[in-house]
């Protein structure tokens, strides 16, 4: 199969997930939305905690709400950031961020793995149905064309 075919198929699958075309697509969409909403909630809460804990700390790199948001969000999503916390609360929160980021990545990987496994089973079932239908049609045509079902005609 060509690369273009795979890209077209992937875009169709992405649209099917967005629409929730099948139960499998809906399930993946629900998982992604849940992870996104939970992460947004934690990003807001953690931004406030980091800002309150770090803004006046000696030697901190977090001076504004935006700095706290950037630090919190990058830690939640990648387990790395642009700043280092200097307070004990900030360091404990950074550990929480690392655990959360690892959990989110593992959850997303598992969600996509489960999705692709289920979709391949669905596609295999569809392929088997098409093959069975084609074989039935071929057998029907063979029956129609077999000599015993032909009317008696004189041979020229």
- For the chain (156 residues), the mean pLDDT of every run of 10, in chain order, is 68 87 90 92 92 87 89 82 78 86 89 90 91 93 76 58
pTM: 0.68
Which domain does 96 fall in, by range? 3-145
User: Where do we find the tokens 């992937």?
Assistant: 10
Phi, psi of 93 (to 5 degrees): -65, -35
Give the other-Cβ count within 10 Å of 2's Cβ. 7
Q: Is residue 77 part of a domain?
A: yes
Q: How many domains are there within the chain?
A: 1
Phi, psi of 81 (to 5 degrees): -150, 180
Look up the CATH number of the domain holding residue 92: 1.10.287.70
Q: Is residue 153 part of a domain?
A: no
HSE of 33, CA atoms in CB hemisphere, 13 A = 10
Residue 133: predicted pLDDT: 95
Q: Is residue 136 part of a domain?
A: yes
Q: Is residue 156 part of a domain?
A: no
Residue 128: predicted pLDDT: 93
């Amino acid at each position: 199969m060509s690369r273009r075919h795979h890209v077209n198929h992937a875009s169709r699958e992405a649209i099917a997930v967005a629409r929730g075309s099948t139960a499998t697509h809906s399930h993946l969409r629900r998982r992604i939305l849940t992870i996104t909403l939970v992460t947004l909630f934690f990003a807001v809460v953690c931004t406030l905690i980091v800002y309150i804990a770090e803004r006046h700390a000696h030697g901190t790199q977090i001076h504004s709400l935006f700095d706290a948001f950037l630090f919190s969000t990058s830690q939640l999503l990648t387990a790395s950031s642009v700043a280092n916390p200097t307070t004990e609360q900030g360091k404990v929160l950074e550990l929480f961020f690392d655990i959360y980021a690892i959990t989110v990545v593992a959850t997303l990987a598992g969600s996509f793995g489960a999705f692709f496994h289920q979709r391949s089973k669905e596609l295999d079932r569809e392929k088997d149905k098409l093959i069975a239908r084609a074989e039935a049609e071929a057998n029907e045509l063979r029956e129609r064309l077999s000599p015993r079902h032909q009317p008696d005609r004189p041979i020229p």
